Structure 1
């Protein structure tokens, strides 16, 4: 069987969920601007370099996800589970992080958070590169 289908472009919430159910976890560089992923279970997925700006991830399970270099600006991450996620150089400016679980998630000095957000207060670990 050819590998052509393994890297199909994921650019809708429906396609993403279908691929996840099929066992796919590599969604690197996916374009999911404004996607409605409320309460979706996506734990363990690779969203590095993905564009999730303005996405609704309210209550989503993103445990252990790689969100390095992802654009999450203006995303709704309220009550999302981001425990153990990698947020290196991620853009979370103007994201709603109210109630988000961030314990043991990793970030670095290049991770951009909303104004007045204290990463240490929510259990984020800032790694020195």
Structure 2
């Protein structure tokens, strides 16, 4: 049985943390622009198509999260753990990725990175988008 959030779009950091604590992991389409999520543990969550632009995710545990088609532009991902994350067609323009752990995360050629960012240098794997 698949979980849906169709009737409960997450749009505040407090709601997100509460739903995660309840065992929910589907935050597809969440509207969390400018949210303060510093140091939060959200591993294994689905943030596909979510808006996390300008969010503070400094030191957050985002291992294995799905950020496909998400907007993380200008987000603070400094020291965040993104190992194993899905970054297909993710907008990371002007994001702070300093110290972010990105080993074994997957991206594709439509993923947008900050200028002068080298995905291969941090262990990102460029793949074709799954069908």
TM tier, smaller: over 0.9
How many pairs does the alignment contain? 127
Query: What is the deviation of 1:128?
Result: 2.6
Instruction: Map 1:38-53 onto structure 2 (within 5 A).
Output: 38-53=38-53
Contact 2:5-2:27 within 8 A present in 1 as well: no
Partner of 1:125: 125
Pair 1:76-2:76 in alignment: yes
Query: What is the deviation of 1:7?
Result: 4.1
Partner of 1:15: 15
**What root-mean-square deviation, in Å, do the aligned CA atoms of Structure 1 and Structure 2 show?**
1.5
Unaligned runs of 5+ in 2: none
Query: What is the deviation of 1:24?
Result: 0.3
Whole-Å Cα distance in 1 between the matches of residues 31 and 5 of structure 2?
17
Query: What is the deviation of 1:9?
Result: 1.5
Partner of 2:24: 24
Instruction: Map 1:80-91 onto structure 2 (within 5 A).
Output: 80-91=80-91
Partner of 2:65: 65
Partner of 2:99: 99
Whole-Å Cα distance in 2 between the matches of residues 110 and 65 of structure 1?
18
Unaligned runs of 5+ in 1: none
Moved over 6 A (4+): 3-6
